[in-house]
Structure 1
């Protein structure tokens, strides 16, 4: 099987590279932004045609949430129009597609875990462009698997966990938002779920949710990082109103993982267990 992975240097792409390197039955091509410039939508299908993949894992995205507010056209080209080109290629050439989306397609006004058919209403440009990308993928290639995830972190790349460790090492006191609720996702767990889906017997297209199990705030996440690492730093809980950003964030975006567990029998580890594992791998 020939697999093409976009976003090869991202958190998920890097974890997929680690997981797939020992799979002799899979010929994998990992493309970065230079090899596959997603903003250049007119050449995407030609580039994909050079590799003739049986399956594409579309993990690349424009993920600078705040910057997207001032670069809406670029964010739309990468998250929406490029995804449409990839889906069209898969439809034309009979390739399978797994694409990654985000909890930011929701407005954050729920108070129960969000299922795949919960109403969508993004409150920032990033979320809107990702939603349009989802819709384009499923319009052109309904057999695609689109996985929404949230709060992704890894030993690779820049993320909340690494930022917290750095700040807690440098400072005696920090403040972290305590009124945005969801669940983090260790990219290695998501990568494993994707590999399990590829190797499984059933392929069922549609929308799915995946994050680690549990429900926490960013403040809870920071406290856990501090405790596991044994750091000595005071963490103050603050409301979102005290930390204004160019892009609004959903207040509540906890994803219900029942469908992906039921359909593909994938593992969903608890957020705390996965954090412990990631921090051990990091050090």
Structure 2
């Protein structure tokens, strides 16, 4: 095996994802068959914003094509916090949804079900976090880490992305240039994506519900003994979760108003 280079980022698979030449090797999961079917569909329809499935190696790891570029990790580079970068994430997510719209899998086991009220038949990415988007020259060009992909909706994906990229959390808990601009970026993402009127009406509640869903996933990972989830949960994440849940309740009216102007 050629030299392996550890790829940093993420939480669930930290320490187990490596680059080998122009490929990425990742652990297989119970939902890998479903994820692989999704990646094969994206390749068939010509969507370039996702890795290609290349097989399974001799160590039982999935082999994906390596997508050159940069992902966004702390400390966040200035280019990644611009409105232009935000716009490109929204457009990439829209392009993914268009590419996956006619994918109708049957009998596949996905990783983590989203709330039933946000399932429309679309296979959403469900984790367009900052370190799961590949940029080139400041423009988002690809999504990676489809481990949490599964039946969802465009609304659920937009709510996930907008919560993380705006970001939607109390201002004192935003420690970069986005502080004080969450409402502006919230509206901008929805506008750039071109969210339908029906989904805009539900977006605020979807973002709050997404935060609860995501943090419950982290909490359960910590309680099961996963070292990186446990580290994250016990070093401030639990308290931040409570503050953010309260903030969502208190700021709901302001967020609804922001979508109107």
Length-normalised TM-score, structure 1: 0.29
Using CA pairs under 8 Å that are at least 6 residues apart, name the structure with larger relative contact order, 1 or 2.
Answer: 1
Structure number with higher helix proportion = 2
